């Protein structure tokens, strides 16, 4: 690995030791000095003070790694804003870096904005290890059209359309949907904007949302994966049904259809369903769709009547169960 322009930028006004006051994104006085690269770590010309081994700075994401290749050949140094690291001490583990890195100095911390922008991993001695490939390659989802699905009982799944906006407005007035899903209130205009955002989130590979429709094509429900993590191979379900769509098994069938697509076509590894422990209807959907109950998350979500514990259900690639 090499730096892009061979320079390391360090803010000269960094605080003395400890946690940086902010993440420097430009501006202010900077020391710029030539940098070299040793064993995949970009280093510059001044020795580093070694504050600690393997410390993670909560809320900012900087991690200090003990290396033998810091500035001047000794000291500490490399982490980054989005980082996953092993423990410190005798078995320091590894640290995955992405996009940018930080370098510690005796006078504080600075951002190495010239660090290589591809994912890579460093051992604490500065040597390289093989990166973990994304579970789902970027682009796989947005390069395809959002599919339609036919469900048992003459029900269907299709993307939401601008003409569905009024039904989305009505869904926010249903007391059960409002209590369990907390959608707030929508006007026709804000409902259209929400539908447009769902289209953009498909293109950004962040979510996949469908309307649940009977034969007349007027939506009676919603289902989707609203928290997609393609590199990590996971997603979390969101769903609701209006009274006209309840009592016919539509949501179980919809969950199975989206799960098949997520596992077999998109290539995810793990899908989650979470719900209030008091939401027995959602619990039945999860169980009947083959999502094993994994535990209870205490005081996990704030509803209108207070904090609710939540059940966590999940299904992973290769699980046996209803298809």
Q: Indicate if 177 and 299 belong to the same structural domain.
A: yes
Residue that terminates a domain, selected from 70, 95, 129: 129
Q: Are 296 and 288 in contact (CB under 8 A)?
A: no
Q: What DSSP string describes 86-125? A: ---TTS--EEEEBSBEEEEETTEEEEETTS--S-EEEETT
Q: Indicate if 85 and 188 belong to the same structural domain.
A: no
Q: Indicate if 167 and 201 belong to the same structural domain.
A: yes
Residue 240 belongs to domain spanning? 149-316
Please report whether residue 135 resides in a domain.
Answer: no
Check whether 27 has a pLDDT greater than 90.
Answer: no
Please report whether residue 285 resides in a domain.
Answer: yes
What average pLDDT does range 259-269 have in this prediction?
97
Check whether 305 has a pLDDT greater than 80.
Answer: yes
Q: Indicate if 81 and 28 belong to the same structural domain.
A: yes
Q: Indicate if 50 and 158 belong to the same structural domain.
A: no
What is the number of helices (H) and of strands (E) in the chain?
5, 20
Please report whether residue 303 resides in a domain.
Answer: yes
Q: Indicate if 193 and 252 belong to the same structural domain.
A: yes
The residues pairing with 240 across neighbouring beta strands, listed in sequence order, are: 222
The per-residue pLDDT for range 70-126, each reduced to its tens digit, is 333 333 334 333 333 343 443 334 444 333 333 333 333 333 333 333 445 556 666
Check whether 133 has a pLDDT greater than 70.
Answer: yes
Instruction: Provide the domain count of the chain.
Output: 2
Q: Indicate if 235 and 288 belong to the same structural domain.
A: yes
Check whether 281 has a pLDDT greater than 60.
Answer: yes
Please report whether residue 136 resides in a domain.
Answer: no
**pLDDT at site 121:** 58
For residue 182, what is the domain's CATH number? Answer: 3.40.630.30
**Lowest-pLDDT range of 34-48, 176-190, 196-210:** 34-48
The angle subtended at Cα 225 by Cα 222 and Cα 226, nearest 5°, is: 90
**pLDDT at site 216:** 87
Q: How far is CA 79 from CA 61, 182, 241, in A?
A: 8, 38, 46
**pLDDT at site 274:** 97
**Lowest-pLDDT range of 38-42, 234-238, 256-260, 285-289:** 38-42
Q: Indicate if 165 and 271 belong to the same structural domain.
A: yes
Residue that terminates a domain, selected from 101, 129, 157: 129
* DSSP label of 197: H
**pLDDT at site 20:** 33
The pTM for the full model equals: 0.63
Please report whether residue 243 resides in a domain.
Answer: yes
**pLDDT at site 185:** 94
Q: Kind and range of the H or E element at 36?
A: strand 36-38
Q: Are 48 and 105 in contact (CB under 8 A)?
A: yes
Check whether 8 has a pLDDT greater than 70.
Answer: no
Q: Give percent above pLDDT 70 in the chain.
A: 61
* DSSP label of 134: P
């Amino acid at each position: 690995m090499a730096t892009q322009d061979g320079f390391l930028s360090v803010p000269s006004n960094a605080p003395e030791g400890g946690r940086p006051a902010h993440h420097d994104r430009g501006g202010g006085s900077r020391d710029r000095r030539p940098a070299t690269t040793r064993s995949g770590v970009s280093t510059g010309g001044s020795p580093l003070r070694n504050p600690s081994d393997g410390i993670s700075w909560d809320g900012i994401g900087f991690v200090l790694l003990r290396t033998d290749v810091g500035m001047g050949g000794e000291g500490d140094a490399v982490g980054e804003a989005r980082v996953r690291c092993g423990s410190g001490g005798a078995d320091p583990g590894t640290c995955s870096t992405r996009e940018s890195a930080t370098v510690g100095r005796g006078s504080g911390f600075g951002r190495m904005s010239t660090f290589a922008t591809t994912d890579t991993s460093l051992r604490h001695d500065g040597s390289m290890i093989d990166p973990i490939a994304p579970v789902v390659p970027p682009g796989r989802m947005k390069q395809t059209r959002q599919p339609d699905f036919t469900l048992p009982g003459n029900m269907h799944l299709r993307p939401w359309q601008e003409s569905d906006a009024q039904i989305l407005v009505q869904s926010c007035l249903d007391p059960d949907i409002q209590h369990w899903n907390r959608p707030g209130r929508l006007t026709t205009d804000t409902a259209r904007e929400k539908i447009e955002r769902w289209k953009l989130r498909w293109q950004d590979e962040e979510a996949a949302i469908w309307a649940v429709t009977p034969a007349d094509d007027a939506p009676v429900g919603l289902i989707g994966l609203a928290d997609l993590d393609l590199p990590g191979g996971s997603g979390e379900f969101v769903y609701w049904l209006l009274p006209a769509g309840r009592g016919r098994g539509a949501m179980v069938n919809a969950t199975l259809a989206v799960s098949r697509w997520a596992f077999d076509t998109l290539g995810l590894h793990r899908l989650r369903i979470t719900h209030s422990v008091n939401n027995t209807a959602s619990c039945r959907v999860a169980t009947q769709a083959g999502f094993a109950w994994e535990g209870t998350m205490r005081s996990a979500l704030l509803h209108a009547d207070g904090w609710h514990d939540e059940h966590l259900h999940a299904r992973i690639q290769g699980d046996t169960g209803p298809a």
